[in-house]
């Protein structure tokens, strides 16, 4: 385990709770963090030097440091032959993600990214409802993740909070966005946006909006999924009843001759609350990493999924710089045109109206 600040200790607790895992060493650059963790887990070795972790006999390394360190630590881990788990977002650029995927493939190692919510019972249930066709075709998704802080020094609020919403949305829709746009403002730390509004367009079929904020008096973790037949509201803060399915919809009349005949038809049916087996998502995340190591299975949130998410964040950053200009994520081979911008990845980032 490397990085034991705010999030690392939660991974430590979960990893230690799994019988198939033996946590042998904790590494942190900060002596005081190490001292604290060692007071809790005296039997686990404490290391300030990451090279000692690389030289150890550990099968895998779990990285929970600030994002700017993910790439260097993960690259060294993979090159040392360790299965590697990285906190979200996978790295600071898509070029870094691609290099990590390449190394993991060449070395035959598991590379997994913590897209925590994909392992939550609530998101699993939502996917199940959507796949069963209960809500019809998804029209759009709206997600809000707001609270006061925790302010980050190296990334803006979109890179910090939106990975959760993006990973859930991509998982539910099962497709990647074609266009991203993002607006926001840095109110507290110069150049680090603490409030952002991102939109994802999925061809001409779906649309999603994501509001992220460190400047909000209330903690909000809410997502609305609007289907043609029903709508789902997912409130992650509710201890029970996290998901509610509303049997409501609005239809336009299929055809009408005069304005007087034109009537929207509003449907109000019963709402229901699906039962969800409560469990800690982070425990499922850790279990999944261990299972992938044991069985060689591909992680649900592996390198490619981590890369996809970072590409969206990069496009959002570019859009922020261009005051909300829509940025196309089209793959050159998908639209047939050569719209390469010399971006480091295979994908082109192109202002839509360029
Ligand atoms: N999945 C989630 O829901 C979730 C929630 C919070 C944070 N995170 C992610 O976890 C990661 C860590 O976030 P945090 O809030 O715990 O950060 P943090 O700043 O609180 O802690 C990071 C720790 O890493 C240590 N560190 C930094 N560089 C190091 C290095 N090169 N070698 C060894 N130790 C080093 C620091 O001393 C610190 O103790 C980030 O990637 C963040 O996005 C994920």
In DSSP notation, 138-183 reads: EEEEEEEEE-S----SSS-HHHHHHHHHHHHHHHHHTS--SEEEEE
What is the pLDDT, as a whole number, of residue 290? 98
Residues of the chain with CATH 3.30.360.10: 121-235+241-277
How many A from CA of 9 to the centre of ligand 1?
10
How many A from CA of 305 to the centre of ligand 1?
20
Which percentage of the chain shows pLDDT scores above 90?
85
Q: How confident is the model over 76-87, as a mean pLDDT? A: 98
How many A from CA of 323 to the centre of ligand 1?
30
pLDDT tens per residue, range 125-147 = 999 999 999 999 999 999 999 99
Model confidence band, residue 351 (pLDDT cutoffs 50, 70, 90): low
In ligand 1, which atom is closest to the CA atom of 282?
A: 1
Kindly report the protein residue whose alpha carbon is nearest to atom 27 of ligand 1: 65
Residues of the chain with CATH 3.40.50.720: 8-117+282-301
pLDDT tens per residue, range 193-217 = 999 999 999 988 899 999 999 999 9
Q: What are phi and psi of 97, to 5 degrees?
A: -60, -45
Distant-in-sequence, close-in-space partners of 39: CB < 8 Å, separation ≥ 6: none
The answer, yes or no, to whether residue 259 has pLDDT greater than 50, is: yes
Substitution candidate for ligand 1 out of 87, 91, 92, 157 with most atoms within 8 A of CB: 87
Substitution candidate for ligand 1 out of 36, 47, 63, 64 with most atoms within 8 A of CB: 64
CATH T-level topology, domain 8-117+282-301: Rossmann fold (3.40.50)
Which percentage of the chain shows pLDDT scores above 70?
93
Q: Where are the alpha helices (DSSP H) in 41-151?
A: 50-55, 70-79, 94-107, 121-131
pTM of this prediction exceeds 0.85: yes
pLDDT tens per residue, range 223-256 = 999 999 999 999 999 988 999 999 999 988 777 7
What superfamily in CATH does domain 121-235+241-277 come from?
Dihydrodipicolinate Reductase; domain 2 (3.30.360.10)
């Amino acid at each position: 385990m490397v990085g034991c600040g705010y999030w690392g200790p939660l991974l430590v607790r979960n990893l230690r709770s799994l019988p198939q895992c033996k946590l042998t060493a904790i590494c942190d650059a900060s002596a005081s963090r190490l001292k604290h963790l060692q007071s809790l887990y005296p039997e686990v070795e404490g290391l300030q030097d990451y090279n000692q972790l690389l030289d150890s006999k550990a099968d895998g390394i779990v990285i929970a440091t600030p994002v700017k360190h993910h790439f260097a630590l993960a690259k060294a881990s993979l090159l040392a032959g360790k299965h590697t788990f990285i906190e979200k977002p996978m790295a600071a650029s898509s070029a870094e993600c691609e290099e990590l995927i390449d190394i993991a493939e060449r070395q035959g190692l598991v590379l997994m990214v913590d897209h925590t919510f994909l392992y939550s019972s609530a998101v699993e249930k939502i996917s199940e409802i959507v796949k069963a066709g209960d809500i019809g075709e998804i029209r759009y998704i709206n997600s809000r993740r707001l609270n006061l802080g925790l302010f980050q020094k190296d990334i803006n609020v979109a890179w910090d909070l939106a990975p959760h919403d993006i990973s859930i949305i991509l998982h539910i829709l099962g497709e990647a966005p074609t266009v991203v746009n993002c607006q926001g403002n840095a109110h507290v730390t110069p150049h680090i946006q603490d409030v952002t509004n991102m939109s994802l367009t999925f061809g001409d079929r779906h649309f999603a909006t994501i509001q992220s904020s460190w400047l909000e008096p209330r903690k909000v973790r809410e997502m609305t999924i609007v289907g043609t037949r029903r709508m789902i509201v997912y409130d992650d803060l509710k201890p029970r009843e996290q998901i509610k399915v509303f049997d409501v919809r609005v239809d336009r009349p299929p055809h009408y001759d005069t304005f007087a005949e034109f009537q929207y038809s509003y449907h109000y049916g019963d709402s229901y609350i699906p039962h969800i087996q409560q469990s800690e998502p982070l425990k499922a995340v850790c279990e999944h990493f261990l299972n992938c190591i044991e069985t060689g299975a591909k992680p649900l949130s592996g390198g490619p999924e981590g890369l996809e998410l970072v590409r969206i964040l990069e496009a959002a950053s570019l859009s922020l710089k261009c005051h909300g200009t829509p940025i196309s994520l089209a793959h050159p081979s998908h639209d047939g045109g050569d719209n390469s911008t010399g971006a480091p990845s295979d994908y082109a980032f192109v202002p839509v109206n360029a």
